[in-house]
Amino acid sequence: MYKIFKDVNYKVLQEGENFEIKGIEYDSRKIEKDFVFVAMTGSTADGHDFIQKAIDSGARMIICEKNVDIKEYKNADSATFVQVEDIRKKLGIIASNYYDYPQNKIKIAGITGTNGKTTSSFILENILEKTARIGTTGNRILDEEFETVNTTPESLELIKLIDKSVKKGADYFIMEVSSHALEIGRVDMLQFDSAIFTNLTQDHLDFHKTMENYFNAKKKIFSMLRNNGTGIINTDDKYGEKIYSEKKDENNDYISISIKNEEADIWGDILNYTNHGMKIKINLDNYFERRNLVKSKDEEEYKFEIELVGEYNLYNVLGCVASALSLGVKIDFIVKKLQEMPSVPGRFETIKNNLEARIVVDFAHTDDGLLNIGKTLKQITDNQVITIFGAGGDRDHDKRPKMAKAATEFSDYIILTSDNPRTENPVKILADIEKGLIAEKYPFDKYIIIADREKAIRYGMRLLQKGDSLLIAGKGHETYQIIGNEKNHFDDREIVRKILEEK
């Protein structure tokens, strides 16, 4: 019973009856007979308030952080009470002990960075075989899909998911690693066989406070590489360059990727845009030469078409090529898989229409994300680019005017609207964004504010002319709009299709 506490400091507050542990949960609503309940203090609730509920549901061991008065609980005489300090950080060790370290029985490919994690995880899952994938849009183990709350779940969930993946026969666990997860220790018990750093631009400063903290959180992933694990770094990014120069001489292999510098291990270029994507070039000469690998031809260079678009997606592709190579996949196979790969849901997702215009739904929700997709769109649009976007409530406030400023760089017309206002006043959020449009130096006046997102999309669709592009940004794959504490069904793609049908 106590073997789950190996390598953890703990204090037994009450020794109960011995029993075989059937499961561990920190949410009282998931407790079943012979379970262990972990009481953690959270940001909105306190798990210690649910100890009685957990006992009533069958918990026979309570792990708590605080000093609890056991006499207060009913039917608690035979239960074991154990106290552990800073339990959220220790949960990963407890879970690993219980599930017998499944993380050491599978190859783990992590992706971190402000933008491109979800996209890269989809690219990688198309290259690798027998995979599990976890991230923002949901979790998948082989052909089974699960919903998720967080991009990177709490350590207990993570270890459970890895255990399930191992038991179902997956060979690779592909995961988005959020800065929150790195900061609060959700992934402390993992070692990565491959870790990609995509980029770092402003987001989540509500949580990290400064860019330096945010950067240090992201960087942590490279101290979690397995002995023979590989770090993959976008050295065109200034933070990436910094990590690369610090790390490149360490024991692990570090692969640099670039689209600006032919000195990088793996570099690429966009040759041209096509009707369905773009034609790219990938050069791996340096990678092969510097590692004394046998080349299959004189110059390790590949030119081919993919369905993804934009420079930023070339970065995602290069990172995944490096990751797959480091995991032992052959380059010919990687190139074949990339050519067959479909686009990613909610990422530059184009909605078919007969208006001879391009309607794109995309998850860009930072100034950098908007700028990247917007510039790409501008390049391939004959006439006007109309952009609809908002900014999430209860999230980074500082990015709001910056997003607006970014949108002015490629938009001919802007429609500001709501994007998950959560518990904030939507009008206040929109006013924050608007500040970036009415800036003193370069004011931008071709815009309208329509708080209701459906109405905003309708307005945008009405403006749309032949040869134009309509960018609906911020929600991508999301199928909800969070207003207050309520989650209402809302899907940008569905709304567009409904309006098209009405036309």
Ligand X SMILES: CC(=O)N[C@H]1[C@@H](OP(=O)(O)OP(=O)(O)OC[C@H]2O[C@@H](n3ccc(=O)[nH]c3=O)[C@H](O)[C@@H]2O)O[C@H](CO)[C@@H](O)[C@@H]1O[C@H](C)C(=O)N[C@@H](C)C(=O)N[C@H](CCC(=O)O)C(=O)O
Ligand Y SMILES: Nc1ncnc2c1ncn2[C@@H]1O[C@H](COP(=O)(O)OP(=O)(O)OP(=O)(O)O)[C@@H](O)[C@H]1O
Ligand Z SMILES: N[C@H](CCC[C@H](N)C(=O)O)C(=O)O
Find how far residue 249's CA is from the centre of its chain: 28
Q: DSSP assignment, residue 270? A: E
Q: What is the dihedral of CA 57, 58, 60, 65, to 10 degrees?
A: -20
Are 242 and 232 in contact by the 8 Å Cβ rule? The answer is no
Are 412 and 469 in contact by the 8 Å Cβ rule? The answer is no
Among residues 3, 29, 352, 462, the one that binds ligand X under rule CB under 6 A: 29
- Residue 26 interacting entry, from ligand X, Mg ion, ligand Y, none, C-beta within 5 to 8 Å by type: ligand X
Phi-psi region of 101 (alpha: psi -120 to 50; beta: other; left: phi over 0): left
Helix axes 311-326, 117-127, angle to 10 degrees: 50
* Strand partners of residue 263: none
Question: Which one, 182 or 496, has the nearer CB to ligand X?
Answer: 182
Is residue 47 a contact point for ligand X (CB under 6 A)? yes
| Tokens matching residue 493 | 């793609």
Is residue 202 a contact point for ligand X (CB under 6 A)? no
Q: 400: annotated binding-site residue?
A: no
Question: Which one, 176 or 253, has the nearer CB to Mg ion?
Answer: 176
Is residue 372 a contact point for ligand Y (CB under 6 A)? yes
- Residue holding tokens 């640099």? 256
From the number of C-beta atoms within 10 Å of its C-beta (0-12, 13-18, 19+), residue 57 rates as middle
How far is it, in rounded angstroms, from Cα 77 to Cα 476?
51
Is residue 76 a contact point for ligand X (CB under 6 A)? no
Among residues 60, 88, 365, 493, the one that binds ligand Z under rule CB under 6 A: 365
The interface region with ligand Y, picked from 64-72, 87-95, 362-370, 403-411 by CB under 6 A, is 362-370
Strand-strand pairing, 138-141 and 131-135: antiparallel
- Residue 419 interacting entry, from Mg ion, ligand Z, ligand X, none, C-beta within 5 to 8 Å by type: ligand Z
Give least dist CB 41 to ligand X, A.
7
Q: 478: annotated binding-site residue?
A: yes
Is residue 481 a contact point for ligand Y (CB under 6 A)? no
Question: Which one, 178 or 258, has the nearer CB to ligand X?
Answer: 178
Question: Which one, 80 or 137, has the nearer CB to ligand Y?
Answer: 137
Question: Which one, 268 or 392, has the nearer CB to ligand X?
Answer: 392
Give least dist CB 17 to ligand X, A.
23
Among residues 35, 99, 214, 363, the one that binds ligand Y under rule CB under 6 A: 363
Q: DSSP assignment, residue 321? A: H
How far is it, in rounded angstroms, from Cα 246 to Cα 153?
29
For 133-149, b where at least 16 C-beta lie within 10 A, e where not — what string? bbbbbebbbeeeeeebe
Site for Mg ion in 122-141 (CB under 5 A): 136
- Residue 83 interacting entry, from ligand Y, ligand Z, Mg ion, none, C-beta within 5 to 8 Å by type: none
How far is it, in rounded angstroms, from Cα 204 to Cα 199?
14
Q: DSSP assignment, residue 101? A: -
Q: 28: annotated binding-site residue?
A: yes
Helix count and strand count (H, E) for the chain: 16, 24
Say whether 256 sits in a helix, a strand or coil.
strand
Question: Which one, 192 or 254, has the nearer CB to Mg ion?
Answer: 192
Is residue 118 a contact point for ligand Y (CB under 6 A)? yes
Say whether 182 sits in a helix, a strand or coil.
helix
How far is it, in rounded angstroms, from Cα 50 to Cα 60?
14
Among residues 24, 28, 174, 235, the one that binds ligand X under rule CB under 6 A: 28
Contact letters for Mg ion, residues 16-35 (x by CB under 5 A): --------------------
Summarize as ranges the residues that interact with ligand Y (CB under 6 A): 115-119, 136, 151, 176, 198-199, 312, 315-316, 347, 362-364, 368-369, 372-373, 476
Q: Which residues are annotated as a binding site?
A: 28, 113-119, 150-152, 178, 186, 395, 419-422, 474, 478
Summarize as ranges the residues that interact with ligand Z (CB under 6 A): 136, 151, 365, 392, 395, 419-420, 474-475, 478
Q: Which residues are annotated as a binding site for ATP?
A: 113-119
